[in-house]
Amino acid sequence: MRHGWQGVTLKLLGGKDFTFTVRSNEQVSEHLRRLRFGDGGMLGVTGVHPTMWVRLWFERAGRPHQRGYTLVDPDPETGTFAMEFTLHTGPAGDWARGARPGDTIHATVQGTAFAPPDPPPSRLLVVGDPASRPAINSLLESMPSTPARIWFETPDPARERGIPRHGAPDREVVHVPRRDGGAHLVRTVRSELPEHLGPASYVWIACDTVTTRTLAAFVRKELGVPRERLHALGYWRAT
Ligand SMILES: Cc1cc2nc3c(=O)[nH]c(=O)nc-3n(C[C@H](O)[C@H](O)[C@H](O)COP(=O)(O)OP(=O)(O)OC[C@H]3O[C@@H](n4cnc5c(N)ncnc54)[C@H](O)[C@@H]3O)c2cc1C
């Protein structure tokens, strides 16, 4: 598949292309599929870091569409990893529903870099949702003894699996129902986050693009958190 102008731009930015092969496809729940892949040599070239993600290429109506997905349990020794697809009615979700062992998918690695906060944070303050759950898990696993508070937006709190607390004495998940296109999450975080913020906190935000942008501006401009203590990336576009 040709990757169009987006592919050309990513190449200019140093993007590396790989082809993954589906090993298995498990329906975890009505809304979630877990696929395991052979990495096409990627992990040996790129290594692994917390919250690592790649751009997968899907074709629809003869046009390429790229979507970000996070590596789950990457294993450089066996050259395998999994991905957890929250299912929607777009090219990625449709592909994940039908993928079978032996199917291949193109991927580009560009933009995933994540530098662990230095100095290590006294507390992680995380805002996310099902799309960023694999990245949140990875972030928490990379700092197993750091206290954390996670505001986790869910379309239906009863439906979602919790996210790990990983043994730290002070880790709390606050389930926030998705309401008003993300505005309820914004209100909740605006009112609750400041009391948990300390000078050595690290704030990590990954929700829909508008919510992420709004909360990142709040944290940086109104709360004065320095750039290097904040990571914010929109994971999906609400339509
Ligand atoms: C760095 C990064 C890592 C990511 N990692 C993961 C991951 O590991 N697992 C994962 O499931 N997603 C992940 N995402 C999000 C995923 O790329 C998007 O949800 C993507 O838009 C889904 O593509 P699609 O083709 O299925 O649907 P699209 O064609 O993009 O959208 C179809 C419809 O579904 C809606 N929609 C799309 N995504 C969501 C969503 N997350 N929640 C609610 N409605 C949605 C859209 O608004 C639209 O109406 C990641 C995104 C980024 C940027």
How many angstroms separate the most distant Cα atoms in the chain?
51
Topology agreement, domain 4-109 and domain 123-232: no
Residues paired with residue 66 on neighbouring β-strands, in sequence order = 57
Q: Is the CB of 88 under 6 A from ligand 1?
A: yes
Determine which residue's CA is closest to atom 1 belonging to ligand 1: 68
Q: At what angle are helices 183-196 and 209-217 packed, to 10 degrees?
A: 30
Contact present, 121 and 146 (Cβ < 8 Å): yes
Which pLDDT score, from 0 to 100, does residue 159 have? Answer: 66
Contact present, 151 and 218 (Cβ < 8 Å): no
Q: Is the CB of 67 under 6 A from ligand 1?
A: yes
Read off the pLDDT of each residue in 50-73 and give the average, rounded to a whole number: 95
pLDDT tens for residues 67-96? Answer: 999 999 999 999 999 999 999 999 999 999
Contacts 24+ apart (CB under 8 A), 163-168: 163/133, 163/136, 163/137, 164/137, 164/140, 165/140, 166/140, 166/141, 168/140, 168/144
Q: Is the CB of 64 under 6 A from ligand 1?
A: no
Residues paired with residue 72 on neighbouring β-strands, in sequence order = 82
Which pLDDT score, from 0 to 100, does residue 161 have? Answer: 66
- Decide if pLDDT at 187 tops 70: yes
pLDDT tens for residues 143-183? Answer: 998 999 999 999 877 666 677 766 677 899 999 999 999 99
Ligand 1 pocket: which of 67, 236, 239 to mutate (most atoms within 8 A of CB): 236
Q: Is the CB of 90 under 6 A from ligand 1?
A: yes
Q: Is the CB of 124 under 6 A from ligand 1?
A: no
Joined together, the tokens standing for residue 104 give: 């291949």
Determine which residue's CA is closest to atom 48 belonging to ligand 1: 239
The ipTM value here is: 0.99
Q: Looking up tokens 């809304």, which residue turns up? A: 31
Q: Determine phi and psi for 6, rounding to 5 degrees.
A: -65, -40
Which pLDDT score, from 0 to 100, does residue 155 have? Answer: 86
Q: Is the CB of 15 under 6 A from ligand 1?
A: no
- What are the sequence ranges of the domains in the chain? 4-109, 123-232
> What's the CATH superfamily of 4-109?
Translation factors (2.40.30.10)
- Decide if pLDDT at 3 tops 90: no
Taking the CA of residue 67 as reference, the ligand 1 atom at the shortest distance is 17
Q: Looking up tokens 């692994």, which residue turns up? A: 48
Which pLDDT score, from 0 to 100, does residue 115 have? Answer: 84
Contacts 24+ apart (CB under 8 A), 171-174: 171/140, 171/147, 172/148, 174/149, 174/150
Q: Is the CB of 232 under 6 A from ligand 1?
A: no
From the number of C-beta atoms within 10 Å of its C-beta (0-12, 13-18, 19+), residue 94 rates as middle
Per-residue confidence at 9, pLDDT binned at 50, 70, 90?
confident
User: What top-level class would CATH report for the domain 123-232?
Assistant: alpha beta
Which pLDDT score, from 0 to 100, does residue 120 have? Answer: 92
If you measure from the C-alpha of residue 30 to the centroid of ligand 1, how many angstroms do you get, rounded to a whole number? Answer: 16
Q: Looking up tokens 């986790």, which residue turns up? A: 152
Which pLDDT score, from 0 to 100, does residue 160 have? Answer: 61
Taking the CA of residue 234 as reference, the ligand 1 atom at the shortest distance is 53
Neighbours of 141 (CB within 10 A): 12
